A = this chain, B = another copy of it.
Amino acid sequence: MTTAHRPPTLNDVALAAGVSRATASRVIAGTGYASPDARDRVNAAAGRLGYVPNLTARALVRGTGVRLVVAVSGAGPAVLDDPYVDRVVGAAARVCAPYGLGVALHWLPRRDPSGLRRLAEDRSVGGVVLVNTTQAVLRAVPAALRGRVASIGIGSALVPTFDVDNGGGTKAVVRHLYATGRRRIAMVTGPRWLSCAGRSVGAYRRVVRDAGLPVRLVRGDFSARLGRAAAREVLRRWPDTDAIVGISDATALGLIDGLRGDGVQVPGDVAVTGFDDIPLAAMTTPALTTATHPVGQIATAAATAVLAGRPVPPATVFPSRLVRRLSA
């Protein structure tokens, strides 16, 4: 018996309320004048009819976008598999919901970030949040994106940045290692091309050098798999290492697994630290000493900045705090 039930349009509401479509529009969109009387009649009609504005039509006429793009640069599309990316997308999706926007996920080939131009020209794109941002990406950001783009990572004059205080967090971690008696501290880093990871490495270098300790770096990629391999490599190159700083919690977990596979005690023989404080970090054995990383807050701030369109400071840094547990 239900008729085809075409969702009501603004026109239906206007008719039912006995006003013009223009007036109905004003009260629904909450913009422009309308007498209290008209306001009531329109709201009543809208409620009665179960009217839901068509955001597509609104976006078309207003020229605003309908989606926020999370653009992740990396060697291949596999970078999108990262749980970190999922968290960013999840947070962005929550920020978008009240605006009636959606989130799309794009891979930006590291060698060729020109896809950004298409995103800027695409009128259905309301804004862009950059992840794993590199200098090359920053250079490729078209001026037309001004005010509609933000970076989780490094930024530029055009691109405000939102990031955790990698340097401060890492410094606290390495100092903690030093304070607990470790003197031969290695670090497993992220991929070379990712400059935000560079801040962690820089902090490590500085603390270690200032203390007169040797610098011991092995390249990783944030994954547990490479962490495990890196454990072997550290032991092979510097058998007397007594602490290893992982660039991420996953790296640290891989490190612990790799060390244990070689019969090395953690933290007895070698202390291991992570970075991020993922929920599971508290549950592993030994529980992971790490630094906090409020990814959700960061992503929320970045997405909000992009959508609000109000001017934001060029850099917003979120503090990182040492979390002492059992692994170091």
Contact = CB atoms under 8 A, between A and B. Distances in A.
Interface of A: 2, 5, 7-8, 50, 52, 54-57, 59-60, 65-68, 70, 80-81, 83, 85-87, 89-90, 93-94, 96-97, 100-106, 117-118, 121-124, 143-144, 224, 228, 250, 253-254, 256-257, 260, 279-280, 282-285, 287, 296
Residue in A7, A55, A65, A81 whose Cβ sees the most chain B Cβ within 10 Å? A55
A30 to B, nearest CB: 18
B283 A285 contact: no
A253 B280 CA distance: 8
Contacts of A70: 93
Contact of A103 (B8, B102, B250): B102
A124 B7 contact: no
How many copies of this chain sit in the oligomeric assembly?
2
A7 B55 CA distance: 21
A5 to B, nearest CB: 6
B101 A104 contact: yes
A96 B85 contact: no
Contact of A2 (B50, B54, B143): B143
Given A86-B89, A90-B90, A117-B50, A97 B101 contact: no
Given A89-B86, A102-B103, A121 B66 contact: no
